[in-house]
Amino acid sequence: MDISQFYDADPARRESDEEGFGDGWSTEADQHSTYRANWLYDTGELYTVREPHPGGLFARYLDQLDIDQVDTSQLTVEVLGRFDSEAAVKQALAGWEHEMTHTNSLDWLRARCGPSAG
């Protein structure tokens, strides 16, 4: 689902405060995209948003300057897991800043949000 559909599916998502967990997550299978991760206080959901950068790293820089932005329909969401509290999500993702810089870092993030997530 795209980012608009994600927020429209549950009004609590739009109203919730969010905690950010980086915007440079990557996967080898999709080298021209980055992923940003956020946790929603009201729903407990940790989700990623896929942000395509068809032109590679230079395009990501232009994205940050709001030049040639992709359409919101291209910003797809994956809910990775649910955590009961801010403390639980922060404990599960301890060290994320370092892990995000690695190749295929999204696998690390997904592994922290599996069935045993808080």
In the chain, where the domains are located? 3-111
What pTM was computed for the model?
0.85
54-94 residue pLDDT tens? 655 555 555 555 555 667 778 999 999 999 999 999 999 99
Q: Own/partner pairs for 56-63, CB < 8 Å, 24+ apart?
A: 56/32, 59/32, 60/34
pLDDT digits over 24-49, tens only? Answer: 999 999 988 999 999 999 999 999 99
Instruction: Say what the pLDDT of residue 26 is.
Output: 94
